[in-house]
Structures are given as C-alpha cells and as structure tokens.
Amino acid sequence: MANQLFPTLAGIRGAPPQGLATVLDTRRKRIDACEGASKCLFLASTWTDDEMDAVARAVPSGSAAPSRPPMADDGVKAQVVRELRGLNAILQVYGFGTEPRYPKIDGPVEKPGSEEFKALVADAIWLAGASRNDPGMGLDPSMPLAIALIDVNERRDAVAFEPLDKAHNAAAFALARGIDWKRHRYTAIIIPGVGPENPTIALSARGKLHLRLAASRFADGDAAFIIVSGAAVHPKDSRFNEAVEMRKVLVERYGIPAERIVIEPYARHTTTNLRNATRRLVAMGAPIDRPTLIVANASQSRYIESPEFAARNPAELGYQPGTVGARLSPYELEFVPSPRSLRVDPWDPLDP
C-alpha cells in the first residue's frame, strides 16, 4: 500500500541527509509529544509547506519504489510534494472526518463525529504504532498513520488487484512484447465504465452498450488491444468491479480473445478512466504518441470532448490526461495519451 500511494517516499532508504534529518527529528518529537491523542496527533503529523520543501530538496532523482511505473514527467521534487499533500488529505478525511470531494462514493466507513468513527480512529492510531518500524514507511510516522487510517476503513481499493499486470494482465502483456504496433491504426480501444446504481446489477445498460460497440469495432482489426476501465464504484461498496465484469462479457458473449483484453480495475471517474488506461499502455510497452480509440455511449462521448470535461481534468488531476482528437461516430473519439498520466497522486487514496 505504501508503494502504491507514496512511491517516491517509500523508495527512500538509509539515513537522510543532515538538513532533512533535522526536519524529520523535529517532526518526530512533535508527534511523540501528543502521546496518541488523536487531534494533537493528526495536527502534528500534517506536513507544512516548509517541511515538504525540505523533503523535495533532499530526495534524489530515481527514488521511486521499483514496483512503480517510470517517474512522472515533472520530476521527483514535484512528485514528493504531491505525495505529501495527498498524505495530508488522508489525515483530513479519515482522521478528522473532513468531507471528501465525492462523499457518495468516498470517505470513512463510519459517520464522522460518531462514537464508531472515534473508535475506528483510535484503532488506526494503535495499528500505526505497531507499523512504525516497517522499512517501507520509515521516513516519518505520518506514513504508517495514513496507511492505518485507510486500512481500518477497509478502503484498500488501490491494491485490490495487485500485482495487476503479472496476475490479471499477464497474457495480454506477454502478447504485447511481440506486437508490431505500426500494423495497427490504434494501440487500443478504451472502454470507460458507466456504473449502475442498483447493487444487484453487475453492468449498467450503457455499459453493455459500450461492450457491444467496442466488440464490433475490434472485429475490424484496427486496434491491437481492448482496455476495459472501471472500479467497483456505483453504488458505494458495490461488489461488482466493472473492468472484471466487462472482460467477462467480451470473452463469453463476443468471443474476444482474453489475451487481447487489458483490465484497468481502479478508475472511479471518467477522468481517471483515461489516465489509468494510459498507465496500462505505458506498462505494456505501447507507444503513447500513437492514437487510441475511446468507445462510449453518445452522451458520455460528447462529455469527453466537452469544455466541461476539459476544465474538470486540471481541476481534479492537475493536467489533461491526453488530447481528444477526431470524432469518428457518435460513439467513437480518437485520443492520444499524455505522459502526465504517470503522476501518482494519493489525494485520492483509493486510486492514486
């Protein structure tokens, strides 16, 4: 979990440089002085701008954990600050009970302020104390505290399918190693999720439409792979993961070879459908300067090329995950991914 949420911070090993050691020592004394009192502890664990800058200056390039994709395009210092700001957000939402951006699908399992919430926070503090010597979280006590808060709330969504590409996408990735990408007009067809609101339904009617359209398009031979993208999001705590259910339908109903399908089971929004699909393309060695094809229902497809969606991306992700290109039909849009999508951001700890 630490590698997934904080890849650069978790990659730090050994004694820190003197300047950073002083900052970390000050933080430890501040945290220890709280003696486990929750409000004091969360305030003491919160990173200030000056402390973030100190870590960013001290961390050398190439410090990401080996299990993560290549470093983000804007470099290690920017990534460090993103991870620490995300850590602060976890403390706010799961420690103090601050409302998350999407309260209907995110946030703690118990109502903030309730006795159950307070008990869960207390348990997280004990769990964090027991994890304090974990080498993957040894930089600062705030890391095991953030991980414990996620853990006690059963929100380990970010690692639910790990190791994703070795376990769930192994056949597709093996095939990709021998692909001549130039033979295909598109590296992949991207199918974004559109979740149902009924907990007994695995795939919404629009989701099934996406699959029918994409299966027909794939049969034309223009795309090397299909990427199905979507988590278990709607309704909250749904037991159905969209990507898994979509691959099942493509194989069983439409006869698409399983090794031609890549699952991306983490995306919780249309913004992250495109971001995460880009990450899977990079992981499988596909050239991301070549176009993909987004296949979606007419309403979602229009939304993806709208000014509203273009404004939403920088507001929520901090960048555009790629460039929306030509429209081929009411359901089909070309899309060229951007390397900016490699920026891991634990602001959303369920899908960083």
Q: Mind listing the pLDDT tens digit for each residue in 298-331?
A: 999 999 999 999 999 999 999 999 999 999 999 9
DSSP 8-state symbol, 71:
P
pLDDT tens profile 128-165: 999 888 877 888 999 999 999 999 999 999 999 999 99
**Which residue, of 120, 155, 190, is where some domain finishes?**
155
Angle 300-305-311 (CA atoms, 0-180°, nearest 5)? 105
Q: Which residues pair with 49 in a beta bridge?
A: none
Q: What is the pLDDT of residue 199?
A: 86
Same domain, 119 and 208: no
Q: What per-residue string of b and e applies to 208-244 under the rule 16 or more CB within 10 Å gives b?
A: bbbbebbbebbeeeebbbbbbbbbbbbeeebebbbbb
Q: What is the pLDDT of residue 62?
A: 55
Residue 268, Cβ neighbours under 10 Å: how many?
23
Question: Rounded to two decimals, what is the model's pTM?
Answer: 0.93
Q: Is 327 among the domain residues?
A: yes
Mean pLDDT by 10 residues, the chain (352 residues): 93 78 95 96 98 90 51 88 98 97 91 96 96 83 97 95 97 97 97 90 94 97 97 85 97 98 97 98 97 98 98 97 98 98 96 96
Q: What does the alpha-carbon distance between residue 333 and residue 273 come to, in Å, rounded to a whole number? A: 14
Cβ pair 97, 153 in contact under 8 A: no
Same domain, 127 and 273: no
DSSP 8-state symbol, 264:
E
Which has the closest alpha carbon to 244: 224, 258, 254? Answer: 258
Q: What does the alpha-carbon distance between residue 293 and residue 57 come to, in Å, rounded to a whole number? A: 40
Cβ pair 131, 236 in contact under 8 A: no
Cβ pair 165, 175 in contact under 8 A: no
Same domain, 176 and 323: yes
Same domain, 117 and 205: no
Q: Is 36 among the domain residues?
A: yes
Q: What is the pLDDT of residue 65?
A: 47
Same domain, 145 and 212: no
**Which residue, of 155, 175, 192, is where some domain finishes?**
155
Q: Is 351 among the domain residues?
A: no
Q: Which residues pair with 186 in a beta bridge?
A: 223
Q: What is the pLDDT of residue 234?
A: 82
Structural domain count, the chain: 2
Q: What does the alpha-carbon distance between residue 214 and residue 206 come to, in Å, rounded to a whole number? A: 12
Same domain, 59 and 113: yes
Q: Is 257 among the domain residues?
A: yes
Q: What is the pLDDT of residue 190?
A: 98
Q: Is 83 among the domain residues?
A: yes
Q: Is the peptide bond before 337 cis (omega within 30 degrees of 0)?
A: no
Q: What is the pLDDT of residue 146?
A: 97
Same domain, 327 and 254: yes
Q: What is the pLDDT of residue 129?
A: 92
Contacts of 217 (CB under 8 A, 6+ apart): 189, 223, 293, 295, 332
**Which residue, of 108, 125, 155, is where some domain finishes?**
155
Residue that the structure tokens 């031979």 belong to: 221
Q: Is 350 among the domain residues?
A: no
Joined together, the tokens standing for residue 258 give 């399983």
Q: Is 146 among the domain residues?
A: yes
Q: What does the alpha-carbon distance between residue 164 and residue 168 come to, in Å, rounded to a whole number? A: 5
Which has the closest alpha carbon to 296: 255, 330, 249? Answer: 330
Joined together, the tokens standing for residue 322 give 């790629």
Cβ pair 226, 191 in contact under 8 A: yes
CATH number of the domain within which 222 lies: 3.40.50.620
Domain around 136: 2-155
Same domain, 247 and 123: no
Q: Which residues pair with 223 in a beta bridge?
A: 186
Percent helix, strand, coil in the chain, to 5, is 50, 10, 40
Q: What does the alpha-carbon distance between residue 252 and residue 232 come to, in Å, rounded to a whole number? A: 21
Q: What is the pLDDT of residue 67?
A: 47
Which has the closest alpha carbon to 136: 126, 122, 146? Answer: 146
Is 60 buried (19+), middle (13-18) or exposed (0-12) by CB count in 10 A? exposed
Which has the closest alpha carbon to 264: 182, 341, 151? Answer: 341
Same domain, 146 and 209: no
Q: What is the pLDDT of residue 71?
A: 65
Same domain, 283 and 254: yes
Same domain, 122 and 198: no
Q: Is 349 among the domain residues?
A: no
> Length of the chain, please?
352
Strands 223-229 and 322-329: unpaired
Same domain, 259 and 317: yes
